Structure 1
């Protein structure tokens, strides 16, 4: 858990100039075939959300089976591992740690056996009161094997599952945990998905020919040749039938206002995913168009920083051309897909060199031209500085940087590892000072209001903590933009589909 001023990243891990992905969760219930392989494929579709560990837990109606390893999905599993996971229900997880250690003890799904059966839990998000609950549960005799907040949720669920009623136990635990979370839970052979009462983390439900699936993004449903049914609503639980024939929907908590993470659309989610009813690719093009309308400049060429800047740049160029500007969309940077992320480089000099290994300019696109470079965000400014220098070295006459999000001025406490407040370039610099630091001829960010409009959301329904410094959850030492009263539980009324 991250609390207090200036520390929104896992210690000793904040070495990248990019925001780090959070986690991805999956839950599957099928009629008459093993769930492990569909979960495995779904995790591949969510690999972008976490690369440190991967795991699957299944249940065959009699006992639980699990396989959890460090590394990418393809490294964590071989054919024999998947074949050994018997049972038609299962959950899965890919992890990047925003709370807890980077080791096997915090890899997920987290499993526990107790008097009321077996429990598996996958978590995407971050709790802000995990330490408080851990101390309370430890005082009641619970023994913890990790320092992650997922184990806190698992122990609290197990404590509330003594009567075997999973929906009741989840409702009780939701009343105690505070922060962001989407969970897939397996109690014996029943799979459940739940989204926190403000819907900060995404979760969707889909239908397969022979069952149902829960996943962080709809792309995981697509890879299983399924159909997206809808987003799981904030505060809602979806309980899949053990035989794969249907699901039960329960609204466990009343929702007064949401706190959807706008950064899912800006950076994290796959462009082909639908998040909260909006295709991410379309949202990024809308954001790019808004960027032109707010701060467009008529240069010879507009180019993306691959890959996440591509849809922004496309939307920006189309909006420019609609205004009869002469700007042309072109690929000006070639990405080497076989180079590891910059964060694995041990020294700053090597990290800067890694930018040149990873991205190489296409000289014919750049030489002798005025260039607009489109990116999704600037974190520390290191990468932006290197890219502007690359383009100048390739002969660009001028380089204008446009960013498809507002300046990141504060850390995220809810599942994104961006950097500490002290490391964020926009935390203590003006846009003019950042422009000078990165060496651009001009620099502009997208406004918060433009982000809300492009996502077809009211500003108050978005989590904007990283760009405003005001958070939708009560974080110790930080300002909140909401009433911090906890959401109210409902009487387990059935939700309308």
Structure 2
């Protein structure tokens, strides 16, 4: 585990997942566009970054640890020739934190060259690894991405790429959005329940797949649409278009609701909904459900800003005299992994990252808006900061329901024992973090804001009911594989 990863100022939030990219262009090299797209997805992973290209004859790869700008030198990108590419930024949810687990994962075998980037988490990776190892497959990492790659490579020995992917889909269970490169063909695959996001966009001379539409915007492209749950998208090698193959059909989806609440960039579009406007609506719903008349409404930067804006707007529409104001200034030059060897240093970390604006809070009643609370450690320190700056009262409002259970679908979340809401009421949590009051947003408000039913959202971290079977947890939903019979889940 990276130093500071478990105790920094972002510790009270679920941790980002990963970001994937796939690019197929007419005749220019795809490495630089892929690099820029990864920059746009940097918020989804900071542990490592990588790109694999194919020039029509052979595969080229570069992976490195750290942020995108640290993982690549200009010469590295120039060496990645070829008009087909896939890329990845990683935050580990399965596997070690070292270069052996950096993605894309690539392999050359009798069926050609294969590259794979994965956003998500398999719940049956260990069983699949054992099965593949028994068949002679040797593994170089402990991540689940290599398991998918080996299974797909085995299927490609006997089938075309679409059939091979279809067979692999019948064997892997959990959340995944994949960008795949088989020789110089780039593909995008989304899990049958659509838990992880994936979109396809059009460029002037090709097409791009990405975890979020903001990456397409960065390349000057146009969003075409979301890749559908259970759909395989195959980009044409000449950049002229793409083919769609609906491999799996499910009665319901299981979109991760935290994409709307926290993970996705506010300027991204998910299922035709701009994330920023969804968060503003969540803020308005938060006022309707748990509004408190205070002098100032202030966000925890940066994730609480859209919520606070909508909350204040709804309050003012009802005649409240609340003012929206920035009350915490963020130091953007403090990294996620600065060293914090002692509890005193960990408490100092919040002050390094955030500093109150005294004129905003002094002598006033304050409502602090954030997107979520995981363990509560940072929340208590934020409340202390605001009080020390002179606030007369501090109310906390959260734009998501209480997180009461772990996530097994690809979010780095605390264990049930560490979750502050697992065994405490909001009143008890308010007392623990030192707030005058604390309220969460309901799940029904989230479903209304995103325009989906609860049956079409994954809210396992809130309800404890998961879309796939997890040992000791809820059973998975039925999924119809029309062409390939899926084995029973373990």
TM-score surpassing 0.5?
Answer: yes
Partner SS state of residue 479, structure 1? coil
Kindly report which structure 2 residues correspond to 1:340-359, keeping only aligned pairs within 5 A, or say none: 340-341=335-336, 344-359=339-354
Counterpart in the other structure of 2:110: 115
Counterpart in the other structure of 1:143: 138
**CA distance in structure 2 between the partners assigned to 1:343 and 1:382 by the alignment:** 17
For 1:148-172, what per-residue CA distance to the aligned partner results, in whole angstroms no more than 9, with x for missing partners?
0000000000000013511111110
Structure 1 residues 342 and 186: CA distance shift in structure 2, 3 A: closer
Partner SS state of residue 207, structure 1? strand
> How many Å apart are 1:275 and its aligned residue?
1.4
For 1:361-416, what per-residue CA distance to the aligned partner results, in whole angstroms no more than 9, with x for missing partners?
11011000000000000111111101111111110010000000000001111110
Between Structure 1 and Structure 2, how many residues are aligned? 481
Partner SS state of residue 291, structure 1? helix
Counterpart in the other structure of 2:98: 103
Q: In 1, are the aligned partners of 2:4 and 2:338 still within 8 Å (CA)?
A: no
Q: In 1, are the aligned partners of 2:12 and 2:372 still within 8 Å (CA)?
A: no
Counterpart in the other structure of 1:3: none
> How many Å apart are 1:359 and its aligned residue?
0.5
Q: In 2, are the aligned partners of 1:375 and 1:402 still within 8 Å (CA)?
A: yes
Q: In 2, are the aligned partners of 1:380 and 1:424 still within 8 Å (CA)?
A: yes
For 1:295-332, what per-residue CA distance to the aligned partner results, in whole angstroms no more than 9, with x for missing partners?
00110010000000000000000111111111110000
Structure 1 residues 196 and 343: CA distance shift in structure 2, 3 A: farther
For 1:48-68, what per-residue CA distance to the aligned partner results, in whole angstroms no more than 9, with x for missing partners?
000000000000000000001
1:68 matched to 2:63: yes
For 1:231-287, what per-residue CA distance to the aligned partner results, in whole angstroms no more than 9, with x for missing partners?
000000100001100100010001210000000111111000011221110110011
Counterpart in the other structure of 2:462: 467
**CA distance in structure 1 between the partners assigned to 2:228 and 2:328 by the alignment:** 39
Q: Which of 438, 441, 448 pairs up with 2:436?
A: 441
Structure 1 residues 425 and 171: CA distance shift in structure 2, 3 A: same
**CA distance in structure 2 between the partners assigned to 1:366 and 1:12 by the alignment:** 29
Q: In 1, are the aligned partners of 2:3 and 2:337 still within 8 Å (CA)?
A: no
**CA distance in structure 1 between the partners assigned to 2:79 and 2:70 by the alignment:** 16
Structure 1 residues 343 and 194: CA distance shift in structure 2, 3 A: farther
Counterpart in the other structure of 2:480: 487
1:178 matched to 2:188: no
Q: In 2, are the aligned partners of 1:342 and 1:354 still within 8 Å (CA)?
A: no
1:131 matched to 2:126: yes
1:305 matched to 2:277: no
Kindly report which structure 2 residues correspond to 1:2-401, keeping only aligned pairs within 5 A, or say none: 14-15=6-7, 16-163=11-158, 165-341=160-336, 344-401=339-396
Report the more deviating stretch, 409-418 or 15-24: 15-24
Structure 1 residues 344 and 192: CA distance shift in structure 2, 3 A: farther
For 1:125-183, what per-residue CA distance to the aligned partner results, in whole angstroms no more than 9, with x for missing partners?
00000000000000000000000000000000000001351111111000000000000
Report the more deviating stretch, 158-167 or 57-66: 158-167
Q: In 2, are the aligned partners of 1:175 and 1:489 still within 8 Å (CA)?
A: no
Counterpart in the other structure of 1:5: none
**CA distance in structure 1 between the partners assigned to 2:145 and 2:237 by the alignment:** 24
> How many Å apart are 1:12 and its aligned residue?
10
Q: What TM-score comes out, normalization by structure 1 length?
A: 0.95
Q: In 2, are the aligned partners of 1:251 and 1:490 still within 8 Å (CA)?
A: no
**CA distance in structure 1 between the partners assigned to 2:443 and 2:165 by the alignment:** 35
> How many Å apart are 1:102 and its aligned residue?
0.2
Q: In 2, are the aligned partners of 1:53 and 1:96 still within 8 Å (CA)?
A: yes
**CA distance in structure 1 between the partners assigned to 2:5 and 2:460 by the alignment:** 21
> How many Å apart are 1:428 and its aligned residue?
1.3
> How many Å apart are 1:342 and its aligned residue?
6.8
> How many Å apart are 1:37 and its aligned residue?
0.3
> How many Å apart are 1:32 and its aligned residue?
1.1
**CA distance in structure 2 between the partners assigned to 1:232 and 1:348 by the alignment:** 45
Q: In 2, are the aligned partners of 1:116 and 1:164 still within 8 Å (CA)?
A: no
Q: What TM-score comes out, normalization by structure 2 length?
A: 0.96
**CA distance in structure 1 between the partners assigned to 2:141 and 2:102 by the alignment:** 9
Q: In 1, are the aligned partners of 2:128 and 2:147 still within 8 Å (CA)?
A: yes
**CA distance in structure 2 between the partners assigned to 1:43 and 1:319 by the alignment:** 36
Q: In 2, are the aligned partners of 1:342 and 1:351 still within 8 Å (CA)?
A: no
Structure 1 residues 167 and 231: CA distance shift in structure 2, 3 A: same
**CA distance in structure 1 between the partners assigned to 2:46 and 2:3 by the alignment:** 18
**CA distance in structure 2 between the partners assigned to 1:109 and 1:281 by the alignment:** 30
Q: Note the residue ranges of structure 2 that are not aligned, 5 or more in a row.
A: 485-490
> How many Å apart are 1:202 and its aligned residue?
0.1
CA RMSD of aligned residues (A): 1.5
